[in-house]
Amino acid sequence: DLPLRTLAREHGLGIGTAVDMTALDADPEYRSRVAREFSAVTAENVMKWESLEPARGEYNWAPADELVDFARRNGQKVHGHTLLWHNQLPAWLTQGVADGSISPAELRTIVRNHITTVVKHFRGKIRAWDVVNEAFTDGDSPVLRDTIFRQHLGPNYIADALRWAHAADPSAKLFLNDYATDNINPKSTAYYELAKQLLKQRVPLHGMGFQGHLDLQYPLPIDAPENLRRFDRLGLQTAFTEVDVRFFLPVDTYKTAGQVGSFNTLLQACLLTPRCVMFTVWGFSDKYSWVPGWFDGQGSATPMDENFQPKPAYRGLQQVLAVA
Ligand code: G3I
């Protein structure tokens, strides 16, 4: 009964989980599972801007540093999440922009300083950064989301952010990250066009993240292999960065089977893609998952139950890694 990280190593694949730092501190069982099963970790919250800089100019590094230390002790890579996102921004920033006390020019300086400070702080310790998270809108004609960054730094803010991050740690791999991009659809195509355009402009972009928050109500992303392959052909790394599979409770055998198939589809897509470097789940136990708090009536979205017992989804991942 080999841990996922041992099985994944045979493929040169990093297998990761989002880490809830409150759980890591309080729950020894959780801690030992993170160490045993995974070769990569992503901070679920503590590397986001509101956590790192709750008051202007006052950085709170401790929880993020603790995760980086934990990872080093356990031979794990760290996936940095995330430098620029329109959610979980500190109130001083959003309020200052809203009331005009932070001008567009000042916002540009603040963003540049934030990226530089954070990336330098972790220089050499973070394998890859999600530099910009969830830049696109949803629907049939996705465009760059109308965030404070897009509004005040202009549409080239993504290229700027990538350049600033690269200057601060030239060896970190720089990723974009987005959801609902797992199969071939208008959003993943917009995502692909952006990647192509950035590479053409010689912007330091090294990889594309596909979150993989699946929902059994929606069709399985069966064309995920073809989707990843088109990014791979650009010479970019790819990764599933936040996989979970939610459904309406209660659990039954059909939903369980559907969940196994969903996890396996994404893992197989990664294994079929030469430069797919990481498969990360957004929490590995139902004891700590964002899903029930966000989707009324849904849950059971991770590979282990509340008592850290492997579910069929966990066995499925093991089997795919063992035979592939
Ligand atoms: O830390 C505060 C705590 O001080 C406060 O008392 C409590 C009361 O609500 O909130 C705590 O913050 C919560 C935080 O998680 C830490 O637990 C926030 O309310 C809550 O909104 C936040 O949710 C996170 C969510 O991002 C916010 O956007 C989830 O844990 C996290 O799993 C989720 O992760 C995102 C990825 O970053 C990007 N992709 C989608 C993914 C799922 O939404």
What ipTM goes with this model?
Answer: 0.94
CA of 283, closest atom in ligand 1: 32
On whether the CB atoms of residues 141 and 76 are closer than 8 A, the answer is no
pLDDT 10s digits, 178-187: 999 999 999 9
End-to-end CA distance of the chain: 17
Please tell me if the CB atom of residue 288 comes closer than 6 angstroms to any atom of ligand 1: no
Report the mean per-residue pLDDT for the chain.
98
The span from the CA of 316 to the CA of 323, in Å, is: 11
Give the total number of structural domains in the chain: 1
Please tell me if the CB atom of residue 44 comes closer than 6 angstroms to any atom of ligand 1: yes
3-state secondary structure of 221: coil
Residue 20 phi/psi, 5-degree rounding, is -90, 110
Mean pLDDT of 143-169: 98
Q: Check residues 324 and 139 and name the one with the higher pLDDT.
A: 139
Please tell me if the CB atom of residue 290 comes closer than 6 angstroms to any atom of ligand 1: yes
The DSSP string of 13-60 is: -EEEEEE-HHHHHH-HHHHHHHHHH-SEEEESSTTSHHHH-SBTTB--
Helix axes 186-200, 157-168, angle to 10 degrees: 60
Say which CATH number the domain at 100 has.
3.20.20.80
pLDDT 10s digits, 4-63: 999 999 999 999 999 999 999 999 999 999 999 999 999 999 999 999 999 999 999 999
Look at residue 226 and tell me whether its pLDDT is greater than 70. yes
Identify the pLDDT of residue 324.
62
On whether the CB atoms of residues 31 and 68 are closer than 8 A, the answer is no
Active site residues: 134, 242
For ligand 1, mutation pick of 25, 44, 136, 302 (most atoms within 8 Å of CB) = 44
pLDDT 10s digits, 245-288: 999 999 999 999 999 999 999 999 999 999 999 999 999 999 99
Containing domain of residue 15, as a range? 4-323
Please tell me if the CB atom of residue 122 comes closer than 6 angstroms to any atom of ligand 1: no
